[in-house]
Amino acid sequence: MLEFKGLTKQFNSTVAVKPATFTIPDGQMVGIIGRSGAGKSTLLRMINRLNEPSGGQMLFQGRDITALKGRDLRQWRNECAMVFQQFNLVGRLNVITNVMSGRLFHHGFASSMMGIFTAKERAFAIRALDRLGMAHVALQQTDTLSGGQMQRVAIARALVQEPRIMLADEPIASLDPLNAKVVMDALRAINRQDGLTVICNLHTLDTARQYCDRIIGMQDGVIVFDGTPKELTDRAAREIYGAEAEEAFSEAMTSTALHPQPVAQPEARVVN
Amino acid sequence: MSTLTFHAISDADIAAARKRYPKAFGDPFVATLKAASWAFVIVYLIWSLGFFEIGKLLSASDRAWALMTRMVVWQDMATWQYANIYKGIAQTIAMAFVGTLLGTIFALGLAFLAARNTMPVGLFRHAVRRLLDVFRGIDQIVWGLVFVRAVGLGPLAGVLAIWISDMGNLAKLYSEAIENIDRKQVEGVRATGADTGRIIRYGYLPQILPVFISLSLYSFESSTRSATILGLVGAGGIGMIIIERFRAGLFDQVAFVVLNVLVVIAVIDWGSGLIRKRFIGERGH
Amino acid sequence: MASVTTNGQDRDPVSLFEIHRRQMIRDRMIVNVTLGVVFLGFLLWSLWISRFTPDRLATGLPRIFEYFGSVMPSLQWDVLFDGRNEAGRFPAGSIGYWYNDFWKYLRLIWETILMALTATILAIGLAVALSFIAARNCTPFPWAGVLARRFLEFCRGVPEILFALVLVFAVGIGPLAGVLAITIHATGALGKLFSEVNENASMRPVDGIKAVGGSWFEQMRYGILTQVLPNFTSYALWRFEINVRASAVVGFVGAGGIGAELSHTISFYSDDRVTAVLLLVVLTVTIIDLVSERARHSLIGKESLR
């Protein structure tokens, strides 16, 4: 169980995330929605402390996450894997090394500096890649892959961490619809089969509705909605997205729609 | 495929994965090559340090320590003859300026003789280039010593040394700039019916002038740096004061002079950065 | 076309343009004249300070030509390739006579190259380590970054021959002082270049490794080093070229290599021995430049190095 107790983030004078208090039980798939700049990314990056919270507390299974330091902090980061919008893989290394880097926390100084990985780790990495259907590119240099392939490699890296929570920061925002579907399906499979908690920032409403058990809506750093996809009415969604509503809705129907057939033609936007 | 934990990976799993993707388990040839090259570097380093008698470093620590303390503890600061120090620094800057200016003027001519697109006679061009190689290949301080032998101690030898080495460097860089010129712009000017003079004025000059100015400014900066040590061989400037006082064991004064030189060089870098910005805009070179 | 209307006033474009042009020319003139005066003043001051006067040049130039004439080898075609005669000496005018001390020079040049190589390897190690601390986006502690940058600036600012002068005093005459001097200066120069490369590296892989639970060392090793390695190699090779030149002159103050011989020969003889050593040094430097340049270009596109 991940508990947030008044977690805040302040950049100089602007408050990115206003005190947030909520709880995420184990095994839930949570989608955080909101327009760009609403503080979704900051909230997510505070969970694994890539962004340092300016106030409040975070507890995981009763353990205070916000107070962790040094090796404990790195252990926590190892326990909650993150998938990024831009994949954040090491482009000049091959795919399997990227995946194995998910096990760096368990390495000593010398072996990680020399880049020595055991056969067990290699086999495990191949298993993880195989699960995402990417084992065949294991020896390719990572920056030669397409975006969708890279994101799947990134998920494989997250998997070899054997995490307890999976964070996904806009995992499909840079992908085409087909790859977006593959990636979201993979995340849901991980959630369902492994029982991992998945917390996912999403820009598009449709995806969140289709894949998540629970939706959290953010606006200007404040959580304005917290409920099931069914409870999220069109009116509530419009409120969350504000001025970007049309974009978010139409985007859901066109560019990143996960339905096989487009529902509306792009011309429809001109009328508005 | 469903969940699998790291600890549950068995030898059979490893064998199966190895069978499917043998190369993913590391190329023994590459691994050996890597290890061998690292070993070579380390063995070489140990051998060469032994060859250079690294042990002397340990036995010299007393002497080195004494030197260090005398450098940081400044004594009798009233008797340091500051006028001489600053005259030396001024002389260094002046030498660098005159030397670079002369180098620039002569490099302008040589560059056109060394560039492929302005000097069609291959044999002559190569002769010029080899000459430039000699100018550049001999270090400035060696030129300094040579000119001290030829014209005697003093800044004249220093100016000549800077002149000749800057001439070599600049002529090479200038000629590269001339070769990298955009031919379309020249053709554009030619298409207006311009004569040779106008083609050079409006086709070549606007393209190469900013690069030339920038290169010469860089050269001035680096000449000020190198001119500080020309005095070590007697070719004028602050180096003469440094070596005199070092030989006299006035290490605190040497430290003071070197600090001053560092500050002056930083100021010159900053100033020439401003000028460069003014002449060629932010794009730099 | 009709005239352009500005602020309700009717002005034809030509006269408007002329006004602007005259204004611009006047502004430019003022700046250019000021710069010209400053330049001329600085030039006159420099000529006066460096005592670079026509009469000195007039007396100096003939002596230069005289000197260069005296150090040129007097080679004679008929005996050019002759070996030692009965007395065990090369005949005057042969290459053997010119390069009587060839093997001594070669040994010293070998020492010079080894000095440069060792210093380059040591400097690479130190510079890589310091560059990660000095780069603003990588530094583990901001104060350490400031410290590292100042340290690198100092190492880079002081010429190697000055370090050599001091080190010869501290550790004695010999190549060790030269190796250490070049190492210190090259660490400063490479460290700055490396840290600039680090600062231009993408931080995304670093974030990725950080999120995996990697330590600072792992973030640098996997996130940054893999990106910058080609640039590092290219800069290191380029530095090796410069270090060879440097190690050829640190001997001037007694810090080993061919420099001592060079300085001794130039200072005490004015015959063909001067050109013999100089030519060997130039050849060595040129060959190493060529080889290293080729290696650099095959490693990384020509455009990435100025």
The residues near A167 (Cβ < 8 Å, ≥ 6 apart) are: A44, A47, A48, A80, A81, A82, A83, A199, A200
Say if residue C10 is in the same domain as residue C119: no
Tell me what pLDDT residue A248 has.
63
Q: Does B46 touch chain C (CB under 8 A)?
A: no
3-state secondary structure of B23: helix
CA neighbor of C191 nearest in space, from C227, C153, C162: C153
Say if residue C22 is in the same domain as residue C116: no
| Architecture per CATH, B81-280 | Orthogonal Bundle (1.10)
Question: What does the alpha-carbon distance between residue A100 and residue A142 come to, in Å, rounded to a whole number?
Answer: 13
User: Does C86 fall in a domain?
Assistant: no
Reply yes or no on whether the pLDDT at B213 is more than 80: yes
Tell me what pLDDT residue C68 has.
84
Q: Does B259 touch chain C (CB under 8 A)?
A: no
Q: Does C256 touch chain B (CB under 8 A)?
A: yes
Quick one: fold of A2-271? Rossmann fold (3.40.50)
Say if the Cβ atoms of C227 and A91 lie within 8 Å: yes
B43 CB neighbour count, 10 Å cutoff: 10
**Distance between start and end Cα atoms, chain A:** 44
pLDDT digits (tens, 9 = 90+) for B75-131: 877 778 888 888 899 999 999 999 999 999 999 888 888 888 877 888 898 899 888
Burial of B35 (0-12, 13-18, 19+ CB in 10 A): exposed
Say if the Cβ atoms of B98 and C267 lie within 8 Å: no
Tell me what pLDDT residue C72 has.
81
> Percentage of chain B surpassing pLDDT 70?
96
Tell me what pLDDT residue C148 has.
95
Q: Compare all CA atoms of chain A with the CA of B31 and give the residue at the minimum distance.
A: A116
CA A204 to chain CA centroid, nearest Å: 14
Taking chain A (272 residues) in runs of 10, the rounded mean pLDDT of each run is 88 85 89 85 90 89 88 91 90 90 89 87 89 88 89 92 90 87 90 90 85 88 86 81 68 46 35 33
Question: What does the alpha-carbon distance between residue A220 and residue A37 come to, in Å, rounded to a whole number?
Answer: 7
In which domain, by residue range, is C259 found?
Answer: 101-304
Say if the Cβ atoms of C46 and B98 lie within 8 Å: yes
Q: If you write DSSP's letter for every residue of chain C in order, what string do you get? A: -PPEEETTEEE-HHHHHHHHHHHHHHHHHHHHHHHHHHHHHHHHHHHHHTT--HHHHHHHHHHHHHHHHHHS----GGGTT----TTS-PPTTSHHHHTTTHHHHHHHHHHHHHHHHHHHHHHHHHHHHHHHHHSTTT-SSHHHHHHHHHHHHHHHHS-HHHHHHHHHHHH-SSHHHHHHHHHHHHHHHHHHHHHHHHHHS-SHHHHHHHHHT--HHHIIIIIIIHHHHHHHHHHHHHHHHHHHHHHHHGGGGT-SSTHHHHHHHHHH--SHHHHHHHHHHHHHHHHHHHHHHHHHHHHS-GGG--
Q: Compare all CA atoms of chain B with the CA of A189 and give the residue at the minimum distance.
A: B2
CA neighbor of B135 nearest in space, from C185, C50, C51, C285: C285
Say if the Cβ atoms of B242 and C162 lie within 8 Å: yes
Q: Does B12 touch chain A (CB under 8 A)?
A: no
Question: What does the alpha-carbon distance between residue B253 and residue B246 come to, in Å, rounded to a whole number?
Answer: 8
Say which of B159, B225, B243 has its CB closest to residue C159: B225
CA neighbor of B47 nearest in space, from C117, C187, C125: C117
pLDDT digits (tens, 9 = 90+) for B122-132: 889 889 988 89
Residues in C closer than 8 angstroms to B141, CB to CB, are 161, 249, 252
Tell me what pLDDT residue C3 has.
47
Contact B26, A114 (CB under 8 A): no
Q: Does B51 touch chain A (CB under 8 A)?
A: no
Domain ranges of chain B: 7-59, 81-280
Rounded to an integer, the average pLDDT of B195-224 is 85
Reply yes or no on whether the pLDDT at B187 is more than 80: yes
User: Does C91 fall in a domain?
Assistant: no
Say if the Cβ atoms of A81 and C222 lie within 8 Å: no
Tell me what pLDDT residue B170 has.
93
pLDDT digits (tens, 9 = 90+) for C193-231: 999 999 999 999 999 999 998 899 999 999 999 999 988
Confidence of residue C10 (pLDDT cuts 50, 70, 90): low
Say which of A96, A103, A127 has its CB closest to residue B4: A127
Rounded to an integer, the average pLDDT of B41-67 is 86
The residues near A75 (Cβ < 8 Å, ≥ 6 apart) are: A68, A105, C213
**pLDDT top residue among C65 and C82:** C65
> Percentage of chain C surpassing pLDDT 70?
92
Say if residue C147 is in the same domain as residue C28: no
CA C297 to chain CA centroid, nearest Å: 18
> Percentage of chain B surpassing pLDDT 90?
24
Tell me what pLDDT residue B133 has.
86
- For β-strands A2-11 and A63-64, DSSP reports them as unpaired
CATH number of the domain encompassing residue C289: 1.10.3720.10
Confidence of residue B161 (pLDDT cuts 50, 70, 90): very high
Say if the Cβ atoms of C209 and A113 lie within 8 Å: no
User: Does C137 fall in a domain?
Assistant: yes
The lowest-confidence range among A93-97, A207-211, C71-75, C165-169 is: C71-75
Residues in B closer than 8 angstroms to C244, CB to CB, are none
Say if residue C190 is in the same domain as residue C283: yes
Domain ranges of chain A: 2-271
Structural domains counted in chain C: 2
Residues in C closer than 8 angstroms to B43, CB to CB, are none
**pLDDT top residue among C60 and C143:** C143
Say if residue C31 is in the same domain as residue C119: no
Return the H-helix or E-strand segment holding B237.
none
Tell me what pLDDT residue A257 has.
47
Tell me what pLDDT residue A265 has.
35
Q: Compare all CA atoms of chain A with the CA of B15 and give the residue at the minimum distance.
A: A123
Confidence of residue B162 (pLDDT cuts 50, 70, 90): very high
Residues in B closer than 8 angstroms to A138, CB to CB, are 21, 24
User: Does C229 fall in a domain?
Assistant: yes
Q: Does B25 touch chain A (CB under 8 A)?
A: yes
The lowest-confidence range among A152-156, B271-275, C122-126 is: B271-275
Residues in C closer than 8 angstroms to A93, CB to CB, are 222, 226
Tell me what pLDDT residue C247 has.
92
Q: ipTM score here?
A: 0.84
pLDDT digits (tens, 9 = 90+) for C84-116: 777 777 777 777 777 778 888 889 999 999 999
